[in-house]
Amino acid sequence: MIDTTNPFILRLRRCGRLDAQDEAWLLEKTRERKEMPAHRDLKSEGEKPVCVHIILEGLGCRYKILPDGRRQITAFLVPGDPCDFPVFLLDQMDHSLCLLTKSVVATIDREEVDDALTNRPLLTRAFWRSTLMDEAILREWLVNIGRRNAYERVCHLLWELFVRHALVGLTSERTFTLPLTQVDLADSLGLSAVHMNRTLQRLKSEGLIGQTGRSLTILRPEALQASASFDNRYLHTRSGTG
């Protein structure tokens, strides 16, 4: 087991047992990095995927836009998250993918992934698990938007983002960098930006969270989790059985 801070490896380790060669493969494939500007689409709806992106630094999202412009963000992508497996095996993108901040990204060509998919069974299983974990988050988001009110939703999302950053070593104490705009947050929670703003203010005034610049601090984690009736099971933080 390599000693690493590589978020891609940290992520995949949670998706199942990997051998040294697998980890070497992951390290190798994320060696070449590209810095990319914010608000750049990595892939657009309808496109045929030819490579896989991995976010190493920064923040991205999946989203869909309705004909009249309404946007729904369906996932946030934190460092370590592979972006395109959900459609790599399908014929075409059913959603778009974009960066929300200036980011560092690695790309793996389709052939290289295919190669791993036929020759590296442990890794293949981990990739599959990785997409299943994304699916679990998606289910929880559906519950969040469908059955929780605005206040509960925001509590839930903030705690989830905190945990996911913690899992790849991107928190210190109870603080992490959250460079999302309130519009982004609103579009992920099915809220208006105005109401998002008011709800955040309430959380601050109640002392649940603090914000200085782009960094967010969870001041009262228990209160945040309780308000959200947060059940961390869906994050599958402990890896499967091999």
Partner DNA sequence: CGAGATCTTGAAGCACATCAAATACCGTGG
Partner DNA sequence: CCACGGTATTTGATGTGCTTCAAGATCTCG
**Judged by CB under 8 A, which of 26, 87, 97, 108 binds its own copies?**
87
State in angstroms the smallest separation of the CB of 78 from DNA. 18
The HSE-up count of residue 22 (CA atoms within 13 Å, CB side) is 22
DSSP annotation of 232? G
- Supply the minimum distance, in Å, between the C-beta of residue 2 and its own copies: 24
Asked if 208 touches DNA (CB under 7 A), the answer is no
- For residue 139, the tally of other CB atoms under 10 A from its CB is 11
> Binding segment for DNA among 85-93, 161-169, 185-193, 224-232 (CB under 7 A)?
185-193
Residue 194 touches DNA, criterion: CB under 7 A: yes
Amino acid at 221: P
Which partner from the list DNA, its own copies, none does 94 bind, CB cut-off 5 to 8 Å by kind?
Answer: its own copies
Q: In this chain, which of 5, 118, 149, 241 binds DNA, going by CB under 7 A?
A: 149
For residue 158, what are the contacts with CB-CB under 8 A and spacing of at least 6?
203, 209, 216, 218, 224
Closest CA to 134 of 87, 171, 175, 178: 87
Q: Does the protein bind its own copies through residue 151 (CB under 8 A)?
A: no
Tokens 């994050």 label which residue?
235
Q: Are 105 and 118 in contact (CB under 8 A)?
A: no
- Residue 176 pairs in a beta bridge with 171, 216
Residue list 28-57, contact with its own copies (CB under 8 A): 45-46
d(CA 202, CA 28): 46
Amino acid at 140: E
The interface with its own copies within residues 93-112 (CB under 8 A) comprises: 94-95
Cα separation, 156 vs 160, whole angstroms: 6
Rg of the chain over all Cα atoms, to the nearest angstrom: 18
121 near its own copies, rule: CB under 8 A: yes
**183, 219, 223, 235: which one binds DNA (CB under 7 A):** 183
Near its own copies in 196-225, by CB under 8 A: none
CB 128 within 8 A of CB 91: no
Residue whose CB is less far from DNA, 126 or 218:
218
Report the residue from 40, 198, 220, 236 that binds DNA according to the rule CB under 7 A: 198
Which residues form the interface with DNA (CB under 7 A)? Answer: 149-151, 181-183, 190-195, 197-198, 200-201, 213-214
Which residues form the interface with its own copies (CB under 8 A)? Answer: 16, 45-46, 62, 64, 66-68, 70-72, 74-75, 85-87, 89-92, 94-95, 118, 121, 125, 128-129, 131-136, 138-143, 145-148, 189-190, 229, 233-234, 236, 238-241
